[in-house]
Amino acid sequence: MQNMYKLTLVAAVVALSSFIAIQPKNQVAAAGPAVTVTDDGLTYTLSNGYITVKVNKRSGDLTSVKTPNTTTPNIELMGYVSGSHAGYWEQRPSKAARLEAKITIDPTKVNGDRAEVSVKGYSDGKSILGDGPQAAGQGGGLIADLEIRYTLERGAHGLYTYAIFTHQAAYPAGSVGESRFGFKLSAQVFDWMSIDDQRNFIMPTGKDWDAGDDLNMKESRRLTTGVYKGRAEHKYDYSADQFKIPAFGWSSTKEKVGLYIINPSFEYLSSGPLHFELTGHIDDGDGGDPTLLNYWRGTHYGGSELPFAAGEQWTKVVGPMFIYVPTGADPKTLFVDAKNKAKAEQARWPYNFVQGVDYPLAAERATVKGKLKLVDPQATVTKLKNLLVGLSFPDEAPKARPQRPRRDSSLAAVTPPPPPTPPAATIPVRDTSAVKLLPNGKRANRGTFVPQRQNGPRQGGFGFGNFTPSLNWQNDAKHYEFWVNGAEDGSFIIPNVRPGTYQLHAVADGVLGAYDAVAYVTITPGQKLDMGAIEWKPVHYGQVIFEIGTPNRSAKEFYKGDDHWHWGMYIEYAKFFPNDVNFTVGKSDPAKDWYIYHVPHDTDFKPDGRDQGRATPWTINFTMPGNAPTTGKATLRFGISGSGARQLGISINGTEAGPFTDIGGGGASMMRDGIEGTWVERDFNFDAALLKPGQNKIVLTVPAGAVGSGICYDVVRLEVAK
């Protein structure tokens, strides 16, 4: 938090829970046949001549998508081989206490320009997911109402979908687990996936996946057939920063059709503008259908939170997102078309066809602008490169995690006798006859290898040391966030802000930490707010002695940072750095001499990656400036983009100053082949008397253990107080 520009506005926050149905003002009616909607009993069928879709009236699933413009006219685009079939929202209303399906926009009443259908489940205080297995992180089921809508317009080459989650004040406490809108697509149609410029190519087939050899996770296999024979296939190799990919999807070299998800706004997604998440891949179940995922409550690379209390009235409109189905071109051309379509949809936001829910229209939204000024005498940058500025629900302070009672050290040497070995006859024998085999002889639904944990003290929870993470802009899925790319001079304009109370944040390359406004701002409907000049004063703990890396919440400037989307890069470290990292400040190049992952040095080199490694020391050589103090407090500041390590050994000029156990950094970035996760700063203080004039040496040591249990640094900086 910065001591900065303070703004106090007292205004009424308008509750926008319903609207009068009106014709859209921000669009011109497209040419083409009138839209129709048919009630088929179990499904609704919507059609506009270009595309025909079916919606299940109980689950809200998009069970069929067809267009006559494919090479094989009206070939089914949905998949039904593996995983959750066809198009689906992660949570479905089919098991709710009460269920209602209806037409929310009748095309006969709007001149055939649009049709919309709704499937809604009412919780009535009980989980709408029933008594079966719950979704990831669900915590007792989803005790909330859920409405799913699909909208089709005249002449559109796709359709919209959105979901409305509502926790009524009469309902008990609960949460929303991992949540997304996804597709399992037809493998008979789709063979090419487009995520970004790096991941835009033909994909392995489901048969290739089934024939592959198991690696260290159920999501990864070594392919033994197909165009990528010998390559490790891993679904996390296609993860991406959601803020940077407004359009992504699959296409067909044969049928000349694509299916892309377009996010016209990022306000309904979670975890801010730097959240990496799964996007698309071949399904890791038997058959490997082409998969496409749009996470709005992501749980990977750090993940997000969405709890609600008993008696809390809460609602969130997720979407509308656009499902774009262009035809008639090759995959690369279709992807360019989809990215252009995303720009057009962003220009239309907010959509005027959304009615009857908490969704402010354009006239009721605000615009906020201002200009950040960096005030830092030690700054090495003069411009705010890659500036991101956003408004989010005000951050909550982290809460201390209750600590378990420590074991009495006087008992540490007492070793209890081992339990008696049971008779051989009582040892259960695995029944291999129950193992399901695929036609190719491979075992079906193979499991996941769980690597042995590192030795050392437990951090106290998932990636956040001795604190329980409370809602903040990096993990919030409960509220809306509004982020934009600012200019290098610090200026920014945030459009289409919903009325409410927010906190202003900013991050930029070269600035360690974030700008977090001290005062909150209340936004009113239709407001045009100029926040003026805002001073950003980064935190320092003394004179900067050295800095390795660029503070940018990523390891992209380190070796392999531009080519990390491959399974097992934590294994490759030992090959690239057989003698470990020996970095000299001012001489070594971070892009060549500092690796993206500080991990145990592989000693096993198993083909499947179930490897253990020895302790890995990284040496930092540096010179203390003549004017730098060598008494008082010194601080090693670590920006961490992901961690699986429980501790880090630290020695200063041969004297042990560690271990450092409060590491933090969540999301298993390394095991998921990423270089970004929930970012944290962790500071290690030591006596500056351990330093000396002239040449110095700091050694950072990750302990022995599984080769994926290390640290992904953003930056390492040493500061000494004068």
Could you tell me if 616 and 598 are in contact, meaning their C-beta atoms sit under 8 angstroms apart?
yes
**Residue closest to 158 by CA, chosen among 402, 372, 344, 406:** 344
Place of tokens 């070939």: 75
- For 103-138, b/e burial (b = at least 16 CB within 10 A) is bbbebeebebbbbbbbbbbbbeebbbbeeeebbebb
Token reading at 670: 């390394």
DSSP structural state of residue 146: E
User: With DSSP H G I counted as helix, E B as strand and the rest as coil, what are the percentages for the chain, rounded to 5?
Assistant: 10, 35, 55
Could you tell me if 177 and 305 are in contact, meaning their C-beta atoms sit under 8 angstroms apart?
no
Token reading at 64: 């069929």
Q: Give the whole-angstrom CA distance, residue 608 versus residue 215.
A: 4
Which pTM was predicted? 0.88
Q: Give the whole-angstrom CA distance, residue 325 versus residue 252.
A: 11
**Residue closest to 564 by CA, chosen among 672, 713, 406, 470:** 672
Q: Please report which residue ranges of 552-620 form alpha helices under DSSP H.
A: 569-576, 590-593
Place of tokens 């490169």: 385
Question: Taking the CB of residue 475, how many other CB atoms lie within 10 A of it?
Answer: 23
Q: Give the whole-angstrom CA distance, residue 301 versus residue 276.
A: 6
Q: Give the whole-angstrom CA distance, residue 326 versus residue 65.
A: 12
Model pLDDT, residue 231: 96
| CATH number of 543-720, picked from 3.40.50.2300, 2.60.120.260, 2.30.40.10, 3.90.850.10 | 2.60.120.260
Q: Give the whole-angstrom CA distance, residue 278 versus residue 23.
A: 36
**Residue closest to 250 by CA, chosen among 319, 154, 130, 338:** 338
Burial class, 174, CB count within 10 angstroms (exposed 0-12 / middle 13-18 / buried 19+): buried
Residue ranges of E strands in 3-73:
36-39, 43-47, 52-56, 62-66
Distances (CA, A) of 15 to 22, 182, 364, 447: 19, 31, 11, 48
Token reading at 179: 């949540």
CA within 13 Å, CB half, 10:
0
Architecture of domain 366-393+479-536 in this structure: Sandwich (2.60)
Model pLDDT, residue 415: 36
Same fold, 366-393+479-536 and 543-720: no
Mean pLDDT by 10 residues, the chain (722 residues): 35 31 43 96 98 98 98 98 93 95 98 98 93 55 95 98 98 93 98 97 97 93 97 96 97 98 98 95 94 95 90 97 98 98 98 97 98 94 94 83 39 36 33 54 52 40 46 95 98 98 98 96 97 96 96 96 94 97 98 97 93 97 91 95 91 94 77 92 96 96 94 97 86
Model pLDDT, residue 16: 31
Model pLDDT, residue 435: 53
Could you tell me if 464 and 398 are in contact, meaning their C-beta atoms sit under 8 angstroms apart?
yes
Burial class, 618, CB count within 10 angstroms (exposed 0-12 / middle 13-18 / buried 19+): buried
Model pLDDT, residue 506: 98
Q: Where are the domains of the chain?
A: 37-354, 366-393+479-536, 543-720
Contacts of 533 (CB under 8 A, 6+ apart): 5, 370, 371, 373
What is the rounded end-to-end Cα distance, in angstroms, of the chain?
23
CATH entry 2.70.98.10 includes domain 37-354: yes
Model pLDDT, residue 442: 65
